[in-house]
A and B are shown apart, each in its own frame.
Chain A
Amino acid sequence: MIAYTMLGTNDKDKSVAFYDKLFEGTDIKKLFQTPLGGQFYGRKPGQPMICITNPYDGNEACFGNGTMIALAFDDIDQIDALHAKALELGAADEGAPGWRAPDVFYGAYFRDLDGNKLCVCKMNMGG
């Protein structure tokens, strides 16, 4: 039911550079841009994407509290590596990799350069 999620930034070039480096070596690719310059990333067409963008209303971007995007991966080692790489690239730690629900949910949490909260996780929930 989700096609894409937008994340606000105040420095799009810097944020795009962050996500370019973060996703390097994964199966997540840089896709198209919106007419307003938002940058999409995704695995392949037809699958949910994220988009890094300046806010549409022209006001300053701010992250939401309670808002979080969880990116799904199959491989726990990749989750560990992505969390470490995010921090290396300047993200803030919001929770080290680990099983939050044994055998069901493995997650690691961080905030991007604009404070947007992300989770990289593996979910064994029948899907």
Chain B
Amino acid sequence: MIGYVTLGVNNIEQAQQYYDALLGEVGAKRLMELEEGGFTLYGAEMSAPSLAITQPYNGKAAVPGNGNMIAIPLEERSQVDGFYNKAIELGGSDEGAPGVRGDEGPQAFYAAYFRDPEGNKLCAFRVGPA
């Protein structure tokens, strides 16, 4: 049901560098760039829901929402660890280290939480056994 999600940023060039490096880890690349707002769309392919960064349409400062979060599914727990470490290394901030939330088991939710350099909250997770 999601076509794409945009995250507001103030420094589009810095954000492009951040997301180029971070999303490159999971096989996503720039799919589309618009002049307006520096809108840059990332994804593996156009047919899958994608993530965009942009300066706000209303011309005001970008502000992260509280309660807003984008969750990115990964296939292995080690990928969650790697993605999270990269997110922090590139200048993101910690919002919850990788680990199982809830019970361990065949449907275990293994997740890590962080904010990008502008404060937008993201999560990387894998559902399944270790």
- Which residues from chain A sit less than 8 Å from chain B, CB to CB? 1-9, 28, 35, 41-43, 47-50, 53-57, 59-72, 114, 116, 119, 121, 123, 125-127
A61–B67 touching, CB < 8 Å: yes
Alpha-carbon distance between A64 and B116 when the two chains are bound, in angstroms = 13
Alpha-carbon distance between A123 and B70 when the two chains are bound, in angstroms = 21
B67–A55 touching, CB < 8 Å: yes
Report if B47 contacts A (CB, 8 A). yes
Contact with A along B14-35 (1 / 0, CB 8 A): 0000000001001010001000
Alpha-carbon distance between A79 and B64 when the two chains are bound, in angstroms = 27
In the complex, residue of chain A having the shortest beta-carbon distance to the beta carbon of B10:
A66
Report if B106 contacts A (CB, 8 A). no
In the complex, residue of chain A having the shortest beta-carbon distance to the beta carbon of B34:
A101
Q: What residues of A have a CB within 8 angstroms of the CB of B3 in the complex? A: 70-72, 119, 121, 123
B63–A42 touching, CB < 8 Å: no
Query: What are some 20 contacts across the A-B interface (CB < 8 A)?
Result: A1-B73, A2-B49, A4-B71, A5-B2, A5-B69, A6-B68, A9-B67, A48-B1, A49-B2, A53-B67, A59-B66, A61-B66, A64-B64, A65-B62, A65-B63, A67-B5, A67-B6, A68-B6, A72-B3, A116-B65
B49–A116 touching, CB < 8 Å: no
- Given the known interface contacts A2-B51, A127-B46, the answer about A66 and B68 at a Cβ–Cβ threshold of 8 Å is no
A50–B2 touching, CB < 8 Å: yes
Report if B85 contacts A (CB, 8 A). no
Report if B87 contacts A (CB, 8 A). no
B66–A48 touching, CB < 8 Å: no
In the complex, residue of chain A having the shortest beta-carbon distance to the beta carbon of B8:
A66
Alpha-carbon distance between A121 and B6 when the two chains are bound, in angstroms = 14
The interface size bin for chain B is 35 or more
B5–A2 touching, CB < 8 Å: yes
In the complex, residue of chain B having the shortest beta-carbon distance to the beta carbon of A9:
B67
Alpha-carbon distance between A118 and B94 when the two chains are bound, in angstroms = 27
Q: What residues of B have a CB within 8 angstroms of the CB of A66 in the complex? A: 6-9, 54-57, 62-63
Min CB–CB distance A27 → chain B (angstroms): 8
Of the listed residues A5, A8, A60, the one surrounded by the most CB atoms of chain B closer than 10 A to its CB is A5
Alpha-carbon distance between A41 and B2 when the two chains are bound, in angstroms = 11
Residue from A41, A53, A127 in contact with B47 in the complex, judged by beta carbons closer than 8 Å: A127
A72–B67 touching, CB < 8 Å: no
Extra inter-chain contacts (6) besides given A48-B49, A67-B68, CB under 8 Å: A1-B42, A6-B67, A64-B7, A66-B8, A70-B5, A119-B3
